[in-house]
Amino acid sequence: MNSWKINLGLILLLVCTSLTTVHAQKGSLMLYGSLTYKDNNNTGSSFGANPIGVGYFFNDHVVAGMNFAFDQEKNAGGNLTDSKHEIGPFYSDSWNIGDHFAIIAQADAHYVWGNTLMNTPGSYSYNGYLGRIYPIVAVLLGHGWALKAKFCELSYENTTGNDANKTSNRTFVAGINGSTFGLGVSKNISLKKSK
């Protein structure tokens, strides 16, 4: 057996034995999100949020709520060329690794809509749905703040356009690439009155 397999097995065993439930405050709110901006070498730019959300802690480690994401692309002249939005519920569960780290498993179920090839004769709008599950590693910063990193996903998106051809797009993602990596922050806000 290769030594990297043995090392990976030992690391996984260590992680599994050190996992404990994350203890957030039951009944508190979690606000989270990330913003992105990309300059495409003077050929255009994109700006978005992926995602921005609010959730409620039903117990000390389970959060459910709603999140929203958007992405807008502009060409070199500053004209909007593509616009995409998604909104829907999410569910997540979390486990501590020591005092400062946590692993989070999250699932999203989103309605998707947008416009493509804007300001051209081939422009059309579309809508559909997206299902996605992914792991997150969180660094617990204290006072309810956390830095979170998403590094892979398993997702399926299906959209249909309102153009004459009823253009259908189906996208399946499984694994790690540039579009599956993201960084964000979250803040837990207690709804309990302090005595």
Instruction: Let me know how long the chain is.
Output: 195
* Amino acid 91: pLDDT: 97
Token digits of residue 48:
């978005």
25-69 pLDDT tens trace: 788 999 999 888 888 777 888 888 888 999 999 998 899 999 999
Tell me if the bond preceding 51 is cis, omega within 30° of 0.
Answer: yes
How far apart CA 155 and CA 193 sit, in angstroms, is 40
How far apart CA 62 and CA 102 sit, in angstroms, is 13
How far apart CA 87 and CA 173 sit, in angstroms, is 19
Confidence of residue 123 (pLDDT cuts 50, 70, 90): very high
DSSP-derived secondary structure for 75-116: ETTS-EEEEEEEEEEEEEEEEEETTTEEEEEEEEEEEEEEEE
* Amino acid 70: pLDDT: 94
Give me the torsion for CA of 138, 141, 147, 151, rounded to 10°.
-30
178-194 pLDDT tens trace: 666 778 999 999 877 65
138-165 pLDDT tens trace: 999 988 899 999 888 999 999 999 998 8
**Structural element, H or E, at residue 138:** strand 124-142
Token digits of residue 16:
């599994």
User: pTM to 2 decimals?
Assistant: 0.78
Convert 14-45 to b/e letters by CB count within 10 Å (16 or more is b): eeeeeeeebebeeebbbebbbeeeeeeeeebb
Residue 42 identity: N
